[in-house]
Structure 1
Amino acid sequence: MVRVPWRDRVLVASAAGMCAVLAISGCGSSDKSKAEATGPLNVWVRGANDSIKAYQKVFDAFTAKTGIQIKPFMTLTDFETKLSAAATSHKLPDVVVDDAAQLGNFETQGIIQPVDKSAVAGQDQLTDRAWDSAKDLTGKYYAVPFSAQANILLVRSDWLAKLKLQPPKTWQDVATVAKAFTTQDPDGDGKADTYGLDVPGSTTRGYISWYWSSLLWEAGGSYFKPAGNGKFAANLDTPQATQSVQWFEDQFCTNKVVQPSALNDTTTEANKAFQTGVTGMYFTGPYAYATMDATAIKGKYVAVAPPAGPANGQTLAEGTDIYLMAGGKTSEAKKLAEFMITPEAQRLGMTAVPTATIVRLPVNKTVDAATEHQGDDRWKLAQQVYQSDGHYEDINMPNWTALRQATSDGLNALVAKCGDPATALHTLNDKLNSILKTQGVAAG
């Protein structure tokens, strides 16, 4: 069997997808009006609860402006699995709004169309950092950015006050505060029922890797290192990576300051742990402000910049992207993407539904998050952290989700057994190099 290089596979798949766009009139037809399917624009969004209401506000504004109807489908449960099933049955939606981290996965499957950035109306109003999250290793764009964010640290301010502590600024501070929150009864109920750190440590969607990645960067480490000619090698078998994993594992195994259910918890369970007073510190995105403010802990927590590690204070940056799907209504889909990056739509995404900020930080640089949120200093902090220390995962790698999943599986197993970090990372490094080899971007 002849192995086709990853880039060639992507080009073939993308070409097939583009041909499918014109399938109604025959591939290569110049009659573009016949190429567009009739009916509403089918838009799938990874979202739930009040996020659905917020997206609907954006879609309603788009329909009012253009007359183009939208048929939305929104869910958090097995979203990418459902999308893969739709691709298999040749029933892809026209547009998908999902994590920027899915770009490599979607491109590898050949289910998204490339984007001509220069042809996107309003593209020059978007930040360069947001656009960078929408391109692959070759520099080709495969999405239009819609939202951005960087993780911050939420801390129970009432617990700090009771124990006469200050918000943490370093890893050591985090360990100290976490120990106090766990052992000194910060809620005053006379029970040993609180924990210092709230960790979504499940392997589902790679949550534990998602959480740990900031620690890796703060220790001066990285997932991969370039090897020239578009090739890469895994870079987790290093002192920096080992230091970050050792500190992380210590909080579970030595200090015992993490909620007992952590290794099975997704962000849904982790949110609840913080909201209900089980945990006192939660490293998460600024979208959590709305979630937490809708509970009894409103006004009882403070948002602070991520505490710095041995090397720096870098923190996980993320984005939400708009994907134009292969075989979809290309013209109408592009119009929707162009509308969603306008100041009007960006503001709607931030404030139309107070309990759901689907635009966490605007990608449109003419819009200011702190201003739109009526001077809320927490959003000013979120902007500053993203701009100064935001660090994206390696989302432009082909199928980053497989690499993140392998990392999550390894980290979860290590912490569950309280094993040796150096040994575990050596094994994980080999695993990542094997995955890179299957994707055609491995060194050597």
Structure 2
Amino acid sequence: MFQKILIANRGEIAVRIIRACRELGIQTVAVYSEADRDALHTQLADEAVCIGPAQASESYLNMERILSATIATKAEAIHPGFGFLSENSKFVEMCEKCSVAFIGPSAALINKMGNKSEARRTMIEAGVPVVPGTREPVYTLEEALKAAKQIGFPVMIKASSGGGGKGMRIAESEEEFPDNFNTAQRESVNAFGDDTMYLERYVGRPRHIEVQIIADKYGNVVQLGERDCSVQRRHQKLIEESPSSAITPGQREEIGRTAVLAARAVGYENAGTIEFLLDRTGEYFFMEMNTRIQVEHPVTEFVSGVDLIKEQISIAAGLPLSVRQEDISLRGHAIECRINAEDPARNFMPCPGTIENLHVPGGNGVRIDTAVYTGYTIPPNYDSMIMKVIVYDKDRESAIAKMRSTLGEVIIEGLSTNLDFQYDILNQEDFITGNVTTHFIQEHYE
């Protein structure tokens, strides 16, 4: 096992990793920008190193500075968390050259699955169902339009290197296709430096279902059930739950087997997520694979009993999985609400500022993942998520009641948050009955 790990991240995920390391008896090194000098992760880690100014490009995305801090503190491994460098194959290659273990998959695998068109082609060859679309990437409007006509409208235009909703557009007709394609491609170039695009048949009003898998160096792959992430705004998830109320036990077994098949097809190693679209007929299609830990991993930990961060660290250290598939039995129901420093009344505008008063609830089946505290100033330079509220109970109805009670106790004074907005979602009849799709927010609020 590692003796010391550097956490190349910030916020609640950095705190989450530090706590897992403490329980494993591993020393930790936090890195921080000048804007995060007083951040909680810098106070909880055994060591903390400033790696640059507030801009992420000069700190949390600066590979050389992060590796220099790793070598200077004699850390043996880097945990990237999610976001920032977690899916950057160049960074993984640099770690390998410096003999630093990267807690995640290899650079080659990140490249293979990070390129969405390449991932589609791999899944097709493995026999995993995918949304009908282009098998090869497209680069020009002319070839894209030709492919769109063959697929049939409406079509989804996607950036091969995309994520977080960037480089995505829906073209309802041939007439609006050129503008949508050009806009999506420009977004892709600006966000990812890549003009590679691909097209898919648009699946109307789907559910977003993802399956958590873990895999070790010895060919063992285990799936830990699905999460339903359908409640999202502009492709950004707001509420996640496990298991999904839309999946029957038979479907759960089938989609789990498919996720394992997908992971085996690429020789996957470490924790990852296979994402699917589930249409109204119950048919499901591979969408993409996330080669990192997910924001919503706590709901899976609640229902499966597996600590995913500890498992990630053990796998990277060369240990076999601590569980077998037959050990996994999903129990109860878990829900996560993402609390963001933003103002829903002003088009969800980010609201950085100082937290004047903070109260977080506790109790049986309640988990709060956060890095904020009373007096902490949320910087404007990073993601607006400041807290994850996760609850667990015997069934979905009980979990919803517990989440309502828990959110009602949370106090965050000094800035605007989406706390009341999340509470309102929990009281929508369609949410209560499980009648949700990826269009839930726009249909009920926008």
Whether the TM-score (by the shorter chain) exceeds 0.5 is: no
Q: Which structure is higher in helix share?
A: 1
**Higher normalized strand content (fraction of residues):** 2
Normalising by structure 1, what TM-score?
0.28
> TM-score scaled to structure 2, two decimals?
0.28
Higher relative contact order (CA 8 A, sep 6+): 1
